Amino acid sequence: MDIKDLKGKVPQEMIDSLVKRGISSLTPPQQLAVEYGITDNKNFIVAAPTASGKTLVAEIAMLNNVLWKGKKAVYIAPMKALVREKYIDLKKDYPFLKIAMSIGDLDSLDKWLAEYDIILASTEKFDSLIRHGLGWLEEIGCIIVDEVHMLDDPGRGPTLEILVSKLMRICTGAQIIALSATISNSRELAGWMSAEVVESNYRPVVLERGIELMGNVSYDSGREEKLCSNSSIPEIRIAEDTIAKGKQAIAFYSTKRNAEAGAERLAGMVSKKLQVEDKKYLEEISEKVLGVLGRPTMQCERLAKVIRQGTAFHHSGLVSGQKELVEEAFKENRIKAICSTTTLGLGVNLPAQTVIVRDVTRYGEAGGSRYMGINEVTQLFGRAGRPKYDSSGRALLIARSKAEAQELYNRYMLSDIEPVTSKLGVLPALRTHVLTFIATRFLTSEESIMDFMSGTLYGYQYSDRKKMRGIVHEVLEELERWKFISKTASIYSATRIGSRVSELYIDPLSARWMLDVMPKLNDEISILFMISNTAEMRPYVRVTADAEEKLMDYIAMIESSESAHEGAGLPFYDPVKPFSTALMLNDWIGEKIEREIIKDYGTTPGTLFAKVTNADWLLYAGIELAKLSRMNTSKLLETRIRVKYGIRKELLDLVRLEQVGRVRARTMYSHGITKARDIRRPEAQEAIRSMFGSEIAARIISQVIEGGSVAGKDAGA
């Protein structure tokens, strides 16, 4: 179908945008969507491979609702990186529309969003907006749910399922479009959502799936291929063969450590293939990677080194600035191979001609290994093949024997993808949502909650109402026992503190634990243990011998708390694990060098800063709960600022100044500038200029001299 055939079915502005982008015809799944009624406000499930054009189907629905019906469109995706990517694309393609992105503060209503046509948000953020009383739900005409197969994820699935169920009930006239590359039971999901189904195997780049064994690749098509490399290491054989063809590769590993080691193994081979201009470009990227953090860590140095050699590793342990540099260099075809954990296979558009899934097993927290699901491996395979660059992509598993090759073939080439199933039917998953139902007065009785649950995917897939009623009843009793809700006759209402817990977007069990132990807090470690012993801080860092020894001084916190005995509502609970995380945070606020913290706790810069960010949020939540309980918040406030900046107590006054963080504050302190008021001294001002340069010094000094006093960047925190 030609784009011109859309005239009269979609706004002219959209057709103009498509033409400007060089799109002249619709792909098969796009054409099916038009033929099945995407322009008639019908709900749709679109299940089609990566790069088949699913996003354009979403655009048709959004533009029709925004431009022709005067409605808002909402785009919901599970990962912030994916939300950012779609936001950038839509802003570029439709500059005449008011497009906004919301992925930040979970305790904010973001009232400014009411002025926008298209709002892109992460699942948790949009759920949070509704909890805070979003006022424009009735203005929504179109809802896009990207990566809808994440309903099957035990961690993120329940929130997504509740959110979609809620929107289907509240936004009754809105068109819902669910997108995924891999759904085997799309018709079942369509039945739940009252949706049409577009299923297509169309892929603009042909995907060949195969198994590599000792330099030979056997494809599921029956084709055989001999690799051009004689290396004894499988990833090197495949990557060298790929680069010899002028292409790039992504190799997926089960752990961060394996990914880093993989990049180092490939580096020697790849460096020999680089052109002079590649080396110059990569040298610059390498220096930028080193400079992302104020003081490079060992991991920063490892990453910078392999980048200079034309490879990189990519995982959640990197800070966002480093990830962006790696991704950009890969898109520019300067980095030839990336070794990554499986998170890079979800959503974000970073394809390569060849994908290598090195590890198909992983270790669980309970011990022992398990095979990755077929769905997950299929998602990784989907990264292979770049439209406009490749005529075909190849996705390879690695076998070490003929028997293993046969096992991998049977498991991943012959078997069907697992169906998407609800993960809502467990108590921890429901606890936070039931509280929110009551706190927002969306549902106020056990019967109304049960009625809602019958409209969820869980209710659609399972007819065991007795089991669900038992779980709901247990959750209600628990929340009432914790004094987060109260009951009058058959009607539940949230207490003041229960409403705040819901708004703060933390697990009610985490809130109950914090309220239990707040009166017993007596030092920084106890405060940090309080916030670390929550579901929100998982996964924890490596247990240290120091943690096992010192825990005994704080074990009474757990023994005196009813909520702690439930192990944060999660299996395999061991208090020494969150306590180790608390000690890591204590080292952070003790100004221990980041490099040493990362080494001592077996963690990464990205993970360290993620824990610091989570700790800041949980301390904020603790302060809010303490206020409602009429407890003193001064120690919590002080600890929050120290965690945010990673400082000892004596630097608290200095970090109130803009431009002054952990490193500059300590530098100033070591030069005798111990308080902001000391900056009034001429000799102090001269010292600041010599330390930081005239421009930064002027900004620091003006806050004290011109302002007369320092309000502080953390004022009112």
Beta bridge partners of 186: none
Pairing of strands 216-219, 206-213: antiparallel
Q: CA 664 to CA 712: how far, in whole Å?
A: 16
Q: CA 612 to CA 659: how far, in whole Å?
A: 19
**Pair 697, 615 in one domain:** no
Q: Which two tokens stand for residue 317?
A: 């342990």
More confident residue, 295 or 365: 295
> Residue 688 — pLDDT band, cuts 50, 70, 90?
very high
Contact 658, 624 (CB under 8 A): no
State which residues form the domain around 671.
654-705
Q: Which two tokens stand for residue 182?
A: 């891999």
Q: What is the pLDDT of residue 80?
A: 86
Neighbours of 385 (CB within 10 A): 27
609 domain residue, yes or no: yes
Q: What is the pLDDT of residue 342?
A: 84
- Residue 396 has phi, psi (to 5 degrees) of -125, 135
Q: What is the pLDDT of residue 428?
A: 82
> Residue 713 — pLDDT band, cuts 50, 70, 90?
low
Place of tokens 């009624």: 37
DSSP H stretches of helix in 8-79: 12-20, 28-36, 54-63
- Residue 445 has phi, psi (to 5 degrees) of -140, 160
Q: CA 193 to CA 47: how far, in whole Å?
A: 14
The three-state secondary structure class of 122 is: strand
Q: What is the pLDDT of residue 367?
A: 55
Contact 355, 249 (CB under 8 A): yes
Q: Residue 535 contacts by C-beta under 8 Å, 6 or more apart in sequence?
A: 428, 507, 509, 510, 568, 569, 570
**Pair 310, 452 in one domain:** no
Q: CA 357 to CA 345: how far, in whole Å?
A: 11
pLDDT digits (tens, 9 = 90+) for 452-503: 999 999 999 997 888 899 999 999 999 999 999 999 999 999 999 999 999 9
> Residue 293 — pLDDT band, cuts 50, 70, 90?
confident
> Residue 562 — pLDDT band, cuts 50, 70, 90?
low
What are the C-alpha distances in Å from 412 to residues 156, 175, 395? 24, 35, 11
Q: What is the pLDDT of residue 3?
A: 93
Closest CA to 341 of 253, 266, 265, 251: 253
Q: CA 620 to CA 303: how far, in whole Å?
A: 34
Contact 434, 498 (CB under 8 A): no
**Pair 454, 496 in one domain:** yes
Q: Residue 655 contacts by C-beta under 8 Å, 6 or more apart in sequence?
A: 641, 645, 647, 661, 662, 665, 713, 714
CATH code assigned at 664: 1.10.150.20
Q: Residue 666 contacts by C-beta under 8 Å, 6 or more apart in sequence?
A: 591, 647, 651
Q: CA 249 to CA 237: how far, in whole Å?
A: 11
Q: What is the pLDDT of residue 714?
A: 47
Q: What is the pLDDT of residue 476?
A: 97
Question: Is the predicted pLDDT of residue 206 greater than 90, yes or no?
Answer: yes
Closest CA to 263 of 198, 224, 193, 315: 315
Closest CA to 163 of 144, 138, 139: 144
pLDDT averaged over every residue in the chain: 92
Beta bridge partners of 213: 216
Q: Residue 306 contacts by C-beta under 8 Å, 6 or more apart in sequence?
A: 263, 264, 266, 267, 312, 313
Closest CA to 53 of 84, 5, 10, 18: 18
Q: Which two tokens stand for residue 350?
A: 């970073």
Q: CA 698 to CA 706: how far, in whole Å?
A: 11
The three-state secondary structure class of 506 is: coil
Q: Which two tokens stand for residue 492?
A: 């539940």
123 domain residue, yes or no: yes
> Residue 389 — pLDDT band, cuts 50, 70, 90?
confident
Q: Which two tokens stand for residue 378?
A: 């299929």
Q: Which two tokens stand for residue 480?
A: 């009432």
Least confident residue range of 37-46, 68-77, 329-338, 703-712: 703-712
Q: CA 353 to CA 249: how far, in whole Å?
A: 6
Q: What is the pLDDT of residue 690?
A: 95
Q: Which two tokens stand for residue 674?
A: 């111990």
Closest CA to 215 of 207, 205, 201, 225: 225
Length of the chain in terms of residues written: 717
420 domain residue, yes or no: no
Q: What is the pLDDT of residue 387?
A: 84
419 domain residue, yes or no: no
**Pair 240, 375 in one domain:** yes
Interval 676-686 mean pLDDT: 94
Q: CA 10 to CA 8: how far, in whole Å?
A: 6
Q: CA 322 to CA 338: how far, in whole Å?
A: 13
Q: What is the pLDDT of residue 233?
A: 95
Q: CA 479 to CA 473: how far, in whole Å?
A: 10
Q: Which two tokens stand for residue 631?
A: 């407890």
Which of 484, 502, 520 corresponds to the end of one domain?
502
**Pair 294, 313 in one domain:** yes
Interval 188-195 mean pLDDT: 97
Q: Residue 228 contacts by C-beta under 8 Å, 6 or more apart in sequence?
A: 240, 241, 244
Q: What is the pLDDT of residue 368?
A: 66
Q: What is the pLDDT of residue 370?
A: 87
List, as one string, the DSSP characters of 215-233.
Answer: TEEEETTS-EEE-S---SS
**Pair 556, 458 in one domain:** no
What are the C-alpha distances in Å from 173 to residues 197, 201, 357, 439, 626? 19, 31, 43, 25, 42
716 domain residue, yes or no: no
> Residue 317 — pLDDT band, cuts 50, 70, 90?
confident
Question: Is the predicted pLDDT of residue 567 greater than 50, yes or no?
Answer: no
Contact 101, 121 (CB under 8 A): yes
Alpha-carbon dihedral 370, 374, 378, 379, rounded to 10 degrees = -60
Q: What is the pLDDT of residue 707?
A: 63
Contact 251, 342 (CB under 8 A): no
155 domain residue, yes or no: yes
Q: CA 305 to CA 168: how far, in whole Å?
A: 50
Q: What is the pLDDT of residue 563?
A: 67
CATH code assigned at 445: 1.10.10.10
Q: What is the pLDDT of residue 195?
A: 97
Number of structural domains in the chain: 5
The sign of the torsion formed by the CA atoms of 617, 622, 628, 634 equals negative
Interval 670-684 mean pLDDT: 95
Pairing of strands 491-494, 485-488: antiparallel
Closest CA to 383 of 600, 571, 207, 644: 207
Interval 191-213 mean pLDDT: 95
Interval 109-121 mean pLDDT: 94
**Pair 489, 513 in one domain:** no
159 domain residue, yes or no: yes
**Pair 530, 552 in one domain:** yes
The order of strands in the sheet holding 72-77 is 99-102, 118-122, 72-77, 140-145, 175-180, 43-47, 195-199
**Pair 314, 390 in one domain:** yes
CATH code assigned at 527: 1.10.3380.20
Q: What is the pLDDT of residue 555?
A: 86
Contact 186, 47 (CB under 8 A): yes
334 domain residue, yes or no: yes
Closest CA to 523 of 576, 563, 575, 583: 583
> Residue 569 — pLDDT band, cuts 50, 70, 90?
very low
> Above pLDDT 90, what percent of the chain?
78
**Pair 374, 257 in one domain:** yes
Q: What is the pLDDT of residue 89?
A: 94
Q: CA 399 to CA 210: how far, in whole Å?
A: 10
Beta bridge partners of 175: 142
Which of 132, 166, 199 corresponds to the end of one domain?
199
More confident residue, 350 or 695: 695
Query: What does DSSP assign to residue 715?
Result: T
pLDDT digits (tens, 9 = 90+) for 577-636: 999 999 999 999 999 988 899 999 998 888 898 899 999 999 999 999 999 999 999 999
Which of 442, 469, 502 corresponds to the end of one domain?
502
Angle at the Cα of 660 from the Cα atoms of 654 and 666, rounded to 5 degrees: 65
Q: Which two tokens stand for residue 256?
A: 């961060």
Neighbours of 369 (CB within 10 A): 11
CATH code assigned at 251: 3.40.50.300
Q: What is the pLDDT of residue 584?
A: 97
**Pair 512, 493 in one domain:** no
Q: What is the pLDDT of residue 716?
A: 33
> Residue 564 — pLDDT band, cuts 50, 70, 90?
low
**Pair 352, 238 in one domain:** yes
